Structure 1
Amino acid sequence: MHARRRSRPGGRAAAVALVLAAALVPGCERGASNGAAPSPGGPAGPGCPAALARAEDAVRRAVRPDPAWHGPVRGPAAVPGKDLVVVAQTMTNPGVAGVAGGVREAAGAIGWGVRVVDGQGTPAGIEAAFGEALALRPAGIVVAGFDPRLTSRQVTQAAERRIPLVGWHAVDAPGPSTAPRLFTNVTTRVEDVARISADWIVAHARGSAGVVVFTDASVPFARHKSGLIERELATCAGVRLLDVENIPLPDTSSRTPQAVASLLSRFGRRWTHSVAINDVYFADAAPALRAARRKGAGAPYNIGAGDGDPSAFQRIRDRQFQAATVPEPLSEQGWQIVDEFNRAFSGAPASGYVAPVHLTTTDDVDGASSWDPPGYRAAYRRIWRAGTGD
C-alpha cells in the first residue's frame, strides 16, 4: 500500500526537467548521497551552493509577516438571506475543519446560514454528503478538500439547479474551473507551497539531508503537491529522497505510527527530515518517534506543507516532532469563500485573489496558534456593508 520511490544516481533526471523554470538552479544537478546526511548547521552539501543560497533567501522572505491587506477591496454589497452547505472531505482534516470554521464566522458577519456535512474521508461518504447537501437546497455549496470529479453526478445536478460551487483545495490551481465546474477554487498556489517547504529543508539542512515525504495519493491535489515537493528537492544534489509514504488522510492515526517505526528501522540516522502534505501526519508520527527515544527537537526535522492547524503550531512552539509549517490562512480563506459566493449571487466575476505563501518555524512561532493575517475581516465587512463596485 505504501508507495516507495528510492533515489538512484541520475534517477531523477526526468523529474528535474519538469520543474518550473523559476525553481530550477543552473549548474545544480541531482545526485545520490552516500551514507548519513550531516546534521543541520554542518557544511553545505556538495555541488549545490546556488540552490542553498536561493533556498535561504526564500525562507527569509517567507517568514516575514506582511501587515498590509493585499486582497479584494472592491465588490458587491451583501446579498441577503442565503444559506450555504460545506461538504467536507473529512472533518478530521484540520485544514478542512479550519476553513469550515472561517466560513461559519464569515457567514455570521454577512447574515447567512451555514451547515457542514462530513464526508468521512471515503468516496462513498463524500458522495452521500454531497447528496445530502443537494437535498437541503442551499444557495451555494462549498467543495472542501476533495476532487469534485468524485461526485460528478451531483456536480451536474448542482449546475442544473443553478447552485454555484466554490472549492477549497478542490483542484490544483486557484481561480475558476470549467472541468470540473467551479465558480472558483480558493487555495494558495500549490507550486509556492511545495517550493518553500522543500526550500526550508535545503536551508535547514545546509544542503545535505535524507528526506521522507508523506502524502495521500488518493487526493489529486495532495498527490500533485507531493510530486512538486519531490521535484524541488531534486534541485539540490545533497538531498536524498529516502522514501514516499502514501497514507490516506483518514488513515493517518492508524497507519502513520507503524510506517514511522518501519522508516526508523530501515533508515536510522540517515532520515534527517520529513515533509508532509498535511501537518496531521506529524501528530500521528510523534508516538512512534517518542517510543524510539528520538528527541522532539531533533531529527527527523519535520515540516508540514499545509495546512497549519493549531496543533501544528503547538508542536512547533514546544519543539515536539515538528519544526515548521507552511500554513494556509484558513480563517481568511473561509471569509474569501463567502465573499466569492456573494459575487456569484450578484452576477459578478470571482475576485481572483490568491493568498501569498507564508512559513512558520520554531524561531518565529511566538504565541500564535494559526496563521491569521490582519486586515481581511475589516476589508470584507466594508465591501459587504455598502458595496464598492467591481
Structure 2
Amino acid sequence: MHRSYRKATRPAVTARSVSIALLATATVLTGCQRGSPHGPTASATGPGGCPPAQTKARAAVARAEQTDTAWNGPTGGPAAVSGKTIVYVAQTMTNPGVAGVANGVREAARVIGWNVRVIDGGGSPAGIQAAMSEAVTLRPSGIVIGGFDPGSTSQQVDRAGAAGIPLIGWHAVASPGPSRRPALFTNVTTRVEDVAGISARWIISQSNGRAGVVLITDASIPFARNKSELIRKELATCSGVRLLAYENIPIPDASSRTPREVSSLLSRFQSGWTYSVAINDLYFADAAPAFRAAGKPGAGPPFNIGAGDGDPSAFQRINSKQYQAATVPEPLSQQGWQIIDEFNRAFSGRPASGYVAPVHVSTPANSAGATTWDPPGYREAYRRIWGR
C-alpha cells in the first residue's frame, strides 16, 4: 500500500497560505483517485493522466488481444520415447492454473503413451514437502514441480537429482527455461515481466490513465510476489494511477479471507476504487459476493483483471460481465503439452526447447464465449514431433 502523507498546519499559518497549500495538493491529486466513469471499453474525455504511458499501453494491449496468431513454438525434436511415468506434484489443485496444467499434462501423456500420477500438496509447506517426498520415493521417470518454490523442498529436490530423476517446473522459478539452482531441466511459464506489464498497461489504457487500483498477491510464492512487484512498478509509470492497497492473501486462504478484505477495502475507498489486478483469477471468484453485497454492478467499477491464470470460471465471469473484465491467461493446456515434450527431450539427451508462449489478454470482445485460452496449432505440432 502507498503511504499517505499529511501536512500539519500551525496556528501562525495564514488563511491565504492554507489556500495555496490546498490548491497545490489538489493539483497533485487530480486524476489520481478516480478511474474512468465510462467503464473499460471507453475512455473519459479530455487528456489522460499520463499520455506517453497511455500511448505505449494502448499499442501493447492491442497486440496482446489478437487471437489469430499462428503457432510459433517448436516444430522439430526427438520422436516419442516409450514407457515413461511422470509424477505431477501440485502446489494445490484448488489453484486453477495448477489444475489446468495438470489436465494438459494428462492429455499429452495419453497421446505420447505415458502414465501420469498427480499428488496434491494441499497448499501448505508440510503438504508440499510430503507430496514431493512421495513423488521421489515412487522413482518415476520425471517429476513436475507444479506451482511452488523448489527451495521449499530442497531436500527432496536433492534426492531426485541423486536418483537421476529430471525435474521440470511450472511457475516454479521466476524465469522460463533451464535452471541450475534449483536444478530444473526447464521451467515452463510465460515471462512474468510480460504478464505483469500487460495487466498494468491494460489498466492504464482502459482507465485513460486515471485509476485507483487495488493489487492482490500471494507473497508466500516467489513467482507471485515477483509478479505483483512488477505490476506495481508498471502502474507507477502513469502519474494518474494511484495504488490504493497492496493486499497479501495466500491462495489457500483466498476463499475465507478475500470476501472480508474486499468488504473492508470497499468501506475504506468507496468510489475511489476503480480497478483491481490480482496475480490469480481465483481472487475475483471469492470477491464477487462482497462486491454484490455492496451493490457494485457486475460490469464494474471496479474493473478487475487477473494476471493469470485464465481458468474456465474466470472466462465465465468475463463473458457474463460478473466482477471480472479481463484476464491475462496462461495457455494452460499448451503448457501441459510442452512439459511432456520437454521431458521427452530430457529422456532423449536433447536440450530444452526454449519455447515461451506469448502474452495474451482475454476480454468479452475477443474470447467469443470460450472458457479457456487455447491457442491453435500446438497439438498438431507436438504430434508431428513425437510421431503420434
- Structure-1-length-normalised TM-score: 0.90
Corresponding letter in the other structure for 2:126: A
Is 1:88 paired with 2:107?
Answer: no
Please give the alpha-carbon distance, in whole angstroms, between the structure 2 residues aligned to 1:117 and 1:8.
49
User: Structure 2: any 5+ residue segments left out of the alignment?
Assistant: 7-27
2-side partners of 1:49 and 1:341: how far apart? 46
Deviation at 1:363, TM superposition (A): 1.8
Q: Residue 312 of structure 1 corresponds to which residue in structure 2? A: 314
Distance 1:353 1:366 in 2: 27
What is the CA distance between 1:136 and its match in structure 2?
A: 1.3
Distance 1:92 1:44 in 2: 44
Which structure 1 residue ranges, 5 or more long, are not aligned? 10-30
Residue of structure 1 aligned with 2:34, choices 36, 41, 63: 36
1:367 lines up with 2:369 in the alignment: yes
Q: 1:68 Cα shift?
A: 1.2
Larger Rg: 2
Q: Does 1:285 align with 2:283?
A: no
Contact kept, 8 Å, 1:145 with 1:169, in 2: the verdict is yes
Distance 1:364 1:66, change over 3 A: closer
Q: Residue 259 of structure 2 aligns to which amino acid in structure 1?
A: P
Name 2:52's counterpart in structure 1: 50
Task: Decide which of 70, 73, 91 is 1:71's aligned counterpart.
Answer: 73
Counterpart of 2:347 (choices 345, 348, 361) is 345
Shift of 1:36: 3.4
Number of the residue aligned with 2:203: 201
**Given residue 321 of structure 1, which amino acid in structure 2 is its aligned partner?**
Y
User: What does 1:243-254 align with in structure 2 at a 5 Å threshold?
Assistant: 243-254=245-256
Q: CA deviation at 1:67?
A: 3.6
- 1:110 is displaced (CA, Å) by 0.3
Question: What do residues 110-149 of structure 1 show as CA deviations (whole Å, max 9, x unaligned)?
Answer: 0000000000001100000001111111000000000000
Q: Note if contact 1:8-1:32 (Cα within 8 Å) is conserved in structure 2.
A: no
Cα contact 1:279–1:309 (8 A) shared by 2 = yes
Q: What CA distance in whole angstroms lies between the structure 2 residues aligned with 1:126 and 1:37?
A: 41
Which of the residues 301, 324, 327 maps onto 2:326?
324
Is 1:101 matched up with 2:103? yes
Q: State the shift of 1:5 in Å.
A: 3.7
- Residue in 2 aligned with 1:19? none
Aligned residue among 145, 148, 154 for 2:147: 145
Cα 1:286–1:47 change in 2 (3 A) is closer
Q: What is the match of residue 189 of structure 2? A: 187
Change (3 A) 1:114 1:76: same
Equivalent position SS for 1:355: coil
In the alignment, which residue of structure 1 is the partner of 2:19? none
Question: Residues 241 and 138 of structure 1: is their aligned pair in 2 closer, same or farther, counting only changes over 3 Å?
Answer: same
SS in 2 for 1:363: helix
Moved more, 67-76 or 271-280: 67-76
Distance across 1 between alignment mates of 2:373 and 2:121: 26
- Aligned-pair distance for 1:331? 0.1
**1:258–1:288: 8 Å Cα contact kept in structure 2?**
yes
Quote the offset at 1:8 in angstroms. Answer: 5.9
State the identity %: 67
Per the TM alignment, residue 32 of structure 1 is displaced from its structure 2 partner at its CA by 5.0
The structural deviation recorded for 1:97 is 0.2
Residue number in structure 2 paired with 1:167: 169
Q: Deviations over 1:230-263 (max 9, x none)?
A: 0000000100000011000001000000000000
Amino acid at match of 1:248: P
Per the alignment, residue 230 of structure 1 pairs with 232
SS in 2 for 1:336: helix
Paired amino acid for 2:34: A
* Length, aligned pairs only: 362
Answer whether contact 1:46 1:237 (CA < 8 A) is retained: no
2:119 and 2:135 in contact (8 A); partners too: yes
Looking at structure 2, the residues matched to 203 and 285 of structure 1 have their Cα atoms a distance apart, in angstroms, of: 24
> Could you list the per-position Cα deviations for residues 17-52 of structure 1 after superposition, in whole angstroms to 9, with x for gaps in the alignment?
xxxxxxxxxxxxxx7555534424213665510111
Deviations 1:328-372 (A, max 9, x none): 000000000000000000000000000000000122221211000
The CA distance in 2 between the partners of 1:45 and 1:385, in whole Å, is 57
| TM-score in terms of structure 2 length | 0.91
What is the SS of the residue equivalent to 2:276? strand
Give yes or no for contact 2:327–2:362 (8 Å, CA) kept in 1.
yes
1:113–1:7 CA distance, 2 compared to 1 (3 A): farther
Give the secondary-structure state (helix, strand or coil) at the position aligned to 1:69. coil
Instruction: Report what 2:242 is aligned to.
Output: 240
- Name the CA distance, whole Å, in 2 between partners of 1:315 and 1:255: 20
Residue equivalent to 2:119: 117
SS of equivalent to 1:237: coil
Alpha carbons 1:275, 1:304 under 8 Å: kept: yes
Q: How much is the aligned-residue C-alpha RMSD, in angstroms?
A: 1.4
Q: What secondary structure sits across from 2:197 in the alignment? A: helix
Q: Secondary structure at the match of 2:165?
A: coil
1:306 Cα deviation from its structure 2 partner: 0.2
* Residues in 2 aligned to 1:234 and 1:376: alpha-carbon distance in whole angstroms: 36
TM-aligned CA distance change 1:241 to 1:35, over 3 Å: closer
Q: Retained in 2: the 8 A contact 1:85–1:138?
A: yes
- CA distance in structure 2 between the aligned counterparts of 1:324 and 1:221, rounded to whole angstroms: 21
